[in-house]
Chains A and B, each alone.
Chain A
Amino acid sequence: MTGVFAIVKKEFKQIARDRKMIPLVLASPVFQLVLLGYAATMDIKEVRLAVCDHDKSSMSRELVRSVVASDIFRAVAFVDNEDQIDPLIASSKVYMGLVLPKDFEKAIVSMKGTSVLVVADGSEAAKATIALNYMQEALLIFASEQARKALAMVGARDIPLIRVEPRVFYNEELKSRDFMVPAVLAMVLMVMTVVLSSMNIVREKEYGTIEQLVVTPLKGGALIAGKLLPFLVIGLVDICIVVLVAVFWFAVPMRGSYVSLLLASLLFLVSTLGLGLFVSTVAKTQQQAMMIAVFFVMVPSVLLSGFIFPIENMPTIFQEASRFVPMRHYLAIVRDLFLKGTGLRSHLSEVVQLAGLGVFIFGLAATMFRKRVD
């Protein structure tokens, strides 16, 4: 046990001697929080619209008014010819174009049916999908409103009207921030524990000091513990920072228990430290360690964990593959802990899978590491 602490002490001294390391360990999570808290939002606030109204009737103007009234669309250009919309979209001056046909009013009034053309910039597919949904809704509302009026005019009285009353749970104001900020926990822990711990161990290889460590009377297990404990501590400090900033600065609701959060995080740390150890056995230089850790552990984890892209939308094979990503389970637990307040008990399957992955990864890494050392 004293051996373990000796190594821990040495590691902390080394980290502390590197003056820039400590501020970085503290500042990096805050920086990530600010980025993801403020910038990672898909909410669309404004879509610049070009209108080409061939009809120029009171009906067509009313349609444009009702579309613009939704606050999402802002008509920034009125053109006489649809061809004029193309260059506006190409130069990104407008994002969408709305073209109303010549006999628009007549068709609506006589209920003959008509069609309007919407052109949009598809090069940003995510935004285009959302903007189109809004446009579709605005047009549908207008169309059914007109149909209702026409029916009332011919004296029909029994016109149905169904309202949708949304009741939103857990994130009542539908803020992207409340979803993204808890996820920063996973991100920060990945950076701090997988990458830095692997680089730290490989550094001893690069410097040739690993032999010195090996000839000390410490066993492989104690060596691993001594090397990884400082990063466990750094990880825990970073968790505190993230939680403090999330709750007090971003006012993200924390509805679950902090004990559950700590337990889940410790469980996740077993996996990440195991991954760090694993990378360190594969890599020969710090550069390799960093590249393997970032490119093959961090990037796939972020992409497959549901961090940004929902898992349900992936093809089945990738959904299955994502089960082997510890971050997926951790994210599911942490997000629910913050927003829903559900404890570990209702996430039993995630907890079990996370623990299983942790034991497997860490066990494999430790065996490989020991083989190298002994």
Chain B
Amino acid sequence: MKGILLVTWKEFIHIARDRIGLFIMVAFPAITLMLYGYALNFDVKNVRLGVCDLDKTKESRAFVRSFLAHDYFGLVEDLQSAEEVEKALSHGEIAVGIVIPKDFGRAVQTGKEIAVQALIDGANAQSANTVLGYIKGFTLNFVARKIQEKLEATGLRIGQGGMDLRMLMYYNPTLETARFLVPGLMGIVLTVMAVVATALSLVREKERGTMTMLKMLPFRAYQIVIGKTLPYLLFSLFAAGLVLVASKVLFGVEVKGSLLLLFSMLLVYLFGALALGVFISSLTESAQVAFTIGVTMTMLPSFILSGFVFPLESMPWAVRAVSYIVPARYIIAIIRAIMLKGEGLQTFMFEFLWLVGFAIAMTLFASIRVRKTLAG
């Protein structure tokens, strides 16, 4: 125990002396949270719409108006021909263009089938899909209204017709992006800080030649591993607390479940992540290599393969299989369950056990490697 504390104390002094490093560790979670909370969201709104109305009748104008009734579309251009729509599309002036054919009004009046063209920039497939969905939806709505007008005109008194959709969102009633991002963000920030910061901890000693000093001291490998991780553990927990306070103050996102449970889960996770950092550090001789491994192995996978942004179900099975070994996946699921759903341990037992296994395995691996380094 004394050995661990000694190593911890030494590392603490090291960190405390590093003013810039300290500042970075506090500023990073804060800045990232601001960015995520305020700047980023997935809603596709104010899509730049170009309209080429070849019909120019009351019906076609009503059709266009129905698109502009909400803030999903913003009319930017009134175009004269389909070619102009294509040109505006290729110049990026519009994101989507609709071409209303010449006999649109008559077809709507007399009840013929007619096709409206939607020309769309598909480069960003996800946005394009959403926008096409909007267009189809608005068109269906327009038709439904026309049918209703017809019904009323026939004088048949058969009520209002139609079918409403009532929606109820659990856990995030207004589908705020912040509410959904904060748990994921916490997982990412902690992973990055923990792994990347510790990844350099041993390499630094090697590069500066202080490793030999460490070797001569009567420390055991596990004491060094745990001792080196402890200060970062405290910093990371502090950062987690900071993210929680900030997300409450700034975005009104509160922890629904037990705070104690949340922090104990974070503790287990951080232990594994920090040991992984020490493990990476023990593998390499230079800080640059340690960093590149650390970023490639943790930052990107925990961003992309954790279900933070991209739904895991959509990935090909091979990639999904890989995602099962990404620790961030489990902690993000747990944070979401506790923060947003207020669930208890029994619903994420599997995730929890996985994290415990991860922490034990990583401490073991790191200790074995460090013992080798100390002996060598």
Let me know if A161 and B143 touch, CB within 8 A. Answer: yes
Tell me if B32 and A299 are in contact (CB < 8 A): yes
Q: Say yes or no: is A241 at the interface (Cβ < 8 Å to chain B).
A: no
**Binary contact readout A112-140 vs B (1 if CB under 8 angstroms, 0 otherwise):** 11111111111111111110111111011
- A199 at interface, CB cutoff 8 A: yes
Task: Tell me if B215 counts as interface (CB < 8 A to partner A).
Answer: no
Chain B contacts of A172 at CB under 8 A?
122
User: Does B70 sit within 8 A of A, measured CB to CB?
Assistant: no
A304 in contact with B35 (CB, 8 Å): yes
Residue of B111, B154, B347 most packed against chain A (CB within 10 A): B111
Query: CB-nearest residue of chain B relative to A124?
Result: B180
Among A129, A141, A166, A342, point to the contact of B120 (Cβ < 8 A).
A166
Is the CB of B127 closer than 8 A to any CB of chain A? yes
Please tell me if A32 contacts chain B, counting CB pairs below 8 Å: yes
A206 to B204, CA, bound (A): 10
| Complex contact A122–B171 (CB within 8 A) | yes
Q: How many angstroms from the CA of A21 to the CA of B323 in the assembled complex?
A: 26
Q: Which residues of B contact A115 (CB under 8 A)?
A: 163-166
> Which segment, of A38-46, A217-225, A261-269, faces chain B?
A38-46
A287 to B200, CA, bound (A): 7
Q: Are A166 and B132 in contact (CB under 8 A)?
A: yes
Q: Answer yes or no: B139 CB below 8 A from chain A CBs.
A: yes
**What does DSSP make chain A's interface, helix, strand, loop or mixed?**
helix
With A43-B314, A292-B24 already in contact, the answer to whether A20 and B41 are too (CB < 8 A) is no
Q: A91-B347, A147-B161, A174-B129 are in contact. Are A165 and B116 (CB under 8 A)?
A: yes
B173 nearest CB across to chain A (Å): 7
Which residues in A have their C-beta under 8 angstroms from that of B12?
A: none
Q: Is A296 an interface residue (CB 8 A)?
A: yes
Does A111 lie within 8 Å of B172, measured CB to CB?
no
Q: Give CA–CA (A300, B40) in the complex, Å.
A: 11
A90: Cβ under 8 A from any B Cβ: yes
What interface size band does chain B fall in?
35 or more
Cβ of A292 to closest chain B Cβ, rounded Å: 6
In the assembled complex, which residues on chain B have CB atoms less than 8 Å from the CB atom of A247?
none
Q: Could you tell me if B197 and A168 are in contact, using CB atoms closer than 8 angstroms?
A: no
- The answer to the question of A178 belonging to the interface, with a C-beta cut-off of 8 Å to chain B, is yes
Query: In the complex the two chains form, is A136's CB within 8 Å of B137's CB?
Result: yes
Partner among B46, B109, B141, B167 whose Cβ is within 8 Å of the Cβ of A158: B109
Given A21-B288, A32-B300, A117-B168: A291 and B315 interface contact (C-beta under 8 Å): no
- Asked whether A167 lies within 8 Å of B314 as measured between CB atoms, the reply is no
- Cβ-defined contact, B38 with A167, below 8 A: no
- Cβ of B300 and Cβ of A199 under 8 Å apart? no
Confirm or deny: B292 has a beta carbon within 8 angstroms of a beta carbon on chain A. Answer: yes
Interface string of B115-127 (1 = CB under 8 A from A): 1111111111111
**Chain A CB within 8 A of B18 CB:** yes
Q: Are A119 and B170 in contact (CB under 8 A)?
A: yes
Distance in angstroms between the alpha carbons of A123 and B136 in the assembled complex: 26
Q: Are the CB atoms of A161 and B114 closer together than 8 Å? A: yes
Q: Is A340 an interface residue (CB 8 A)?
A: yes
A133 touches B133 (CB 8 A): yes
A31 interface residue per 8 A CB criterion:
yes
Chain A residues closer than 8 Å to B373, beta-carbon distance: none
Cα distance, A128 to B109, chains bound together (Å):
37
- Closest chain A residue to B127 by CB distance? A310
Q: How many A-B residue pairs have CB under 8 A?
A: 396
Question: In whole angstroms, what is the CA distance A346 to B200 when docked?
Answer: 44
Chain B residues in 8 Å Cβ range of A164: 115-116, 118, 132, 135-136, 139
With known contacts A38-B319, A42-B314, A117–B166 Cβ distance under 8 A: yes
A35: which B residues are within 8 A, CB to CB? 300-301, 304-305, 319
Judge whether A24 and B293 touch: CB under 8 Å: yes
B192 within 8 A of A: yes
Docked complex Cα distance between A45 and B39 (Å):
28
Per-position binary interface string of chain B over residues 283-299, scored 1 when its CB falls under 8 Å from any chain A CB and 0 otherwise: 01111110111011001
A111: chain B residues within 8 A (beta carbon): 151, 158-161
Q: A125-B177, A139-B165 are in contact. Are A43 and B347 (CB under 8 A)?
A: no
| Complex: A139 Cα to B141 Cα, angstroms | 11
Most buried by A among B133, B141, B197: B133
A286 touching B288 in the complex, CB below 8 Å, given contacts A156-B150, A162-B142: yes
- Cα A290 to Cα B196 in complex, Å, equals 9
Among A125, A313, A346, the most chain B Cβ lie within 10 Å of the Cβ of: A125
Tell me which residues across on chain A come within 8 A of B18, comparing CB atoms. 284-285, 287-288
Q: 17 extra interchain contacts, Cβ-Cβ under 8 A, other than A35-B300, A288-B20? A: A20-B289, A27-B296, A32-B300, A38-B315, A113-B162, A115-B165, A125-B175, A129-B175, A130-B129, A141-B140, A161-B113, A165-B117, A166-B117, A179-B124, A206-B207, A287-B21, A309-B41
Chain A residues within CB distance 8 Å of chain B: 18, 20-21, 24-25, 27-28, 31-32, 35-36, 38-46, 86, 89-91, 108, 110-130, 132-137, 139-144, 146-148, 150-151, 154, 156-172, 174-176, 178-179, 191, 195-196, 199-200, 203, 206-207, 282-288, 290-292, 294-296, 299-300, 303-304, 308-310, 312-315, 318, 335-336, 339-340, 342, 346
Q: Residues on B close to A: CB < 8 A?
A: 18, 20-21, 24-25, 27-28, 31-32, 35-36, 38-46, 63, 86, 89-92, 107-130, 132-137, 139-144, 146-148, 150-151, 154, 156, 158-173, 175-177, 179-181, 183, 192, 196-197, 200, 204, 207-208, 284-289, 291-293, 295-296, 299-301, 304-305, 307, 309-311, 313-316, 318-319, 323, 336, 340-341, 343, 347
7 tightest Cβ-Cβ pairs between the two chains A and B: A158-B111, A122-B172, A122-B169, A115-B164, A171-B122, A125-B180, A168-B122
Instruction: List, sorted by A's number, 20 A–B pairs whose CB atoms are closer than 8 Å.
Output: A39-B323, A41-B126, A44-B311, A108-B163, A116-B164, A116-B165, A119-B167, A123-B172, A127-B311, A143-B163, A150-B161, A161-B114, A161-B143, A171-B125, A195-B295, A196-B288, A196-B291, A296-B27, A308-B309, A313-B43
